[in-house]
Structure 1
């Protein structure tokens, strides 16, 4: 059965999204407790201040949460909408679920007239970069940083509409 997408908070999703990020990035990039704590803390804060209709949270589910994406538009006028916490589980990776989540989030932004959407990531996540560029994102900034808990080449991508 293909994963279903749902919008909005679901009990346990904060912990599950943090766990998906922590386990994947520990294996793939050597991130540790600093990264997991950052995801859990910032995602918790987002969920507490989320305004339906302005912000969006989508979950990919089978029996439990297997993927997520967030649009944080709390500073949309000054900075643009912030795409965050985009991930799918190992079980769903490569099945088009990430593409569906990203399309859902971009449709949401387009329907609200958000002229700029941005995200921060880091160099080396080629599959994700391919998805972002397929949805009109372009690399606009690149610099060395430690935001993720260890030194990486951070990248900012933006998608702008007329």
Structure 2
């Protein structure tokens, strides 16, 4: 069955998104339990305080199973900008264009909300994701060594600014 984009909470999504992140990042950079728990906790908190007037949450579904995700957290938009979070696709769908569709959906939401600044944190070495970010107008604005995700990486902040 084809992949579809679904807006809003899906039962089991928190665990599935945490699993997708853990299964991708553990072999890649060694992130383990602290990272998976941080993803699950953060997404659970976001879902509990979700406000459809300011936040966005989308899933790529195939046969009812979450194969990708992305979120826009607008809770601190006035101070920091909108925060793009939990962007991931499954190994089975990576390269299919679903990541592009998820990111375009999130950026369309930001435009509709008149969010002039959107940012995300990632780390060096994720070439495909960086390509998508740059394609959608994001630019690298800051780098630093960090361990917030359970392993030492070169953290990167990307930001997209657009006139309102």
TM-score by length of 2: 0.98
Equivalence for 2:46: 46
SS class of match (1:76): coil
In the alignment, what sits opposite 2:12?
Answer: 12
Q: Secondary structure at the match of 1:38?
A: helix
Report the CA distance between 1:2 and its aligned residue. 2.5
Where structure 2 has 5 or more consecutive residues not aligned to the other structure, the ranges are none
Task: Determine helix, strand or coil for the equivalent of 2:45.
Answer: helix
Q: Which residue of 2 aligns with 1:30?
A: 30
| Aligned equivalent of 2:57 | 57
Root-mean-square deviation (CA), in Å? 0.6
- The gaps in structure 1 that reach 5 residues or longer are none
1:97 equivalenced with 2:98 (yes/no): yes
**Whole-Å Cα distance in 2 between the matches of residues 33 and 149 of structure 1?**
8
CA contact (8 A) 2:67 2:89 kept: yes
State TM-score, norm by structure 1: 0.99
How many angstroms apart in 2 are the aligned matches of 1:94 and 1:35?
24
User: Take 1:18 and 1:59, find their aligned partners in 2: how far apart are those partners?
Assistant: 13
